[in-house]
Amino acid sequence: MEGLMVGLTAMTWQMFVMMIIGGILIFLAVKKNYEPTLLLPIGFGAILANIPFSSVLDQTEPSGQVVEGALSIFFRVGILTEIFPLLIFVAIGAMIDFSPLFRNPKLLLFGAAAQFGIFFTMILATLLGFDLKEAASIGVIGSADGPTSIYVATRFAPNLLGPISVAAYSYMALVPIIQPPIIRMLTTKEERMMRMDGGGNDRKISRATLVLFPILVTILTGLFAPTAVALIGFLMFGNLVRECGVLNKLSLAAQNELASLVTLLLGITIASTMTADKFLQVSTLFIIGLGLVAFMFDTAGGVLFAKLLNFFLKKKVNPMIGAAGISAFPMSSRVIHTMGLKEDPTNYLLMHAVSANVSGQIGSVLAGGLILALVH
């Protein structure tokens, strides 16, 4: 009988709090539909990992023998080797259609401007006492790109992987709440009503262009920032599979089965790091707060850059489009489109916002790669 009580007697209040946090994440996923594919596995995994002597984690027996747990094995095989995030990149690459960007390539610059939050947050994090690698990992929450955040955190701050992943995915789901007030604060009504011309929205792009783009981007990035090759290369490989036109089955498998399966494993495996002793710390609160700062300054960076660009452009850009330069696709472009319609029900900004949003997907991965290259 005593043996059956071991778990109950070893339960601490911290473990109980972590189970409640897991429950909240499941609630947000199920009831509010906030990034359910990630938050649900993370929430359930947090419960699994905080059951005393949980067999999903490695446990040391009294004899000193280590019994391996399934989630610990997944963590070593899938996260520490970076395989899970990279496979997600293949899936994301297969989902991205770059053609809206080809029709309006100047919007690529917004994909750079809207990464400002990453660097601003990194600087802020150093002032809060985080070391450079930890600060960089926290800043990358602002990439609004879960796999990039996980990839960089695995390399630089595996101890912070849990809170960084939770913050990244939670704020991505909250883009429709975070972005509008910042955009309204930085723009006038006239600016929000600004119309943009079609920009050749119905122009067709040749298959050669669609096939060459991922290959050339990979080579160019690799030549200048070899550390970014894994990130950008896997993303572009997925895109090449999509665009080559002869691997439709593989492309669909990457977009559906691969994405679903790896996301499931990624979520529940990350949760294995969310044990009470690692997660319930002041640093977690800082990370959650800094993540929000990163998203806010990404949005501000994009909007302000668009306003700056308008000084030099003949055909002006609606400054709200700049905010769509973050990687959260397609939420951000939908937010901008809806805000435009609210100001003027006949102003359709969706295609322009999608172009900026797609460039944000390249920008976020590139920013992650550059952080890996620049931080030592």
Partner 1 sequence: MFSDKIISVYSQAIDISFKGMTALFLFMFIFFILIIAVDKFFPHREEKK
Cα distances (angstroms) measured from residue 17 to each of 20, 72, 150: 5, 21, 24
Q: How far is the CB of 115 from partner 1 (least distance, A)?
A: 6
Q: Which stretch binds partner 1 (CB under 8 A): 154-162, 221-229, 268-276, 282-290?
A: 221-229
Number of residues near partner 1 (by CB under 8 A): 47
Residue 154, interface with partner 1 (CB under 8 A)?
A: no
d(CA 188, CA 319): 10
Structure tokens at 237: 């490989």
Whose tokens are 């994405």? That residue is 259
- Of 14, 37, 51, 106, which lies in the binding site for partner 1, with binding defined by CB under 8 A? 106
- Of 94, 108, 186, 324, which lies in the binding site for partner 1, with binding defined by CB under 8 A? 108
Residue 363, interface with partner 1 (CB under 8 A)?
A: yes
Q: How far is the CB of 204 from partner 1 (least distance, A)?
A: 4
Is residue 69 within 8 Å of residue 317, measured between CB atoms? no
Residue type for position 106? K
Looking at the Cβ atoms of 28 and 107, the one nearer to partner 1 is 107
Residue 362, interface with partner 1 (CB under 8 A)?
A: yes
Helix (H) or strand (E) holding 333: helix 331-343
Contact string 73-102 vs partner 1 (x = CB under 8 A): ----------------------------xx
Cis amide bond preceding 147, omega within 30? no
Q: Which of residues 124-143 bind partner 1 (CB under 8 A)?
A: 125-127, 129, 131-132, 135-136
Q: Which stretch binds partner 1 (CB under 8 A): 85-93, 182-190, 268-276, 361-369?
A: 361-369
Looking at the Cβ atoms of 117 and 238, the one nearer to partner 1 is 117
- Of 50, 54, 115, 283, which lies in the binding site for partner 1, with binding defined by CB under 8 A? 115
d(CA 340, CA 347): 6
Q: How far is the CB of 355 from partner 1 (least distance, A)?
A: 11
Cα distances (angstroms) measured from residue 155 to each of 80, 178, 202: 8, 28, 42
Residue 265, interface with partner 1 (CB under 8 A)?
A: no
- Of 197, 203, 226, 256, which lies in the binding site for partner 1, with binding defined by CB under 8 A? 203
Residue 120, interface with partner 1 (CB under 8 A)?
A: yes
H helices then E strands: how many in the chain? 22, 2
d(CA 111, CA 314): 21
Q: How many CA atoms lie within 13 A of 220 on its CB side?
A: 8
Going by C-alpha positions, the residue among 158, 154, 98, 125 that lies closest to residue 285 is 125
- Of 73, 225, 230, 244, which lies in the binding site for partner 1, with binding defined by CB under 8 A? 225
- Of 6, 77, 80, 220, which lies in the binding site for partner 1, with binding defined by CB under 8 A? 220
Task: Provide the b/e sequence for 116-140 (b: ≥16 CB within 10 Å).
Answer: bbbbbbbebbbeeebeebbbbbbbb
Per CB under 8 A, residues contacting partner 1 are: 101-102, 105-106, 108-109, 111-113, 115-116, 118-120, 122-123, 125-127, 129, 131-132, 135-136, 203-206, 208-209, 212-213, 216-217, 220-221, 224-225, 359, 362-363, 366-367, 370-371, 374-375
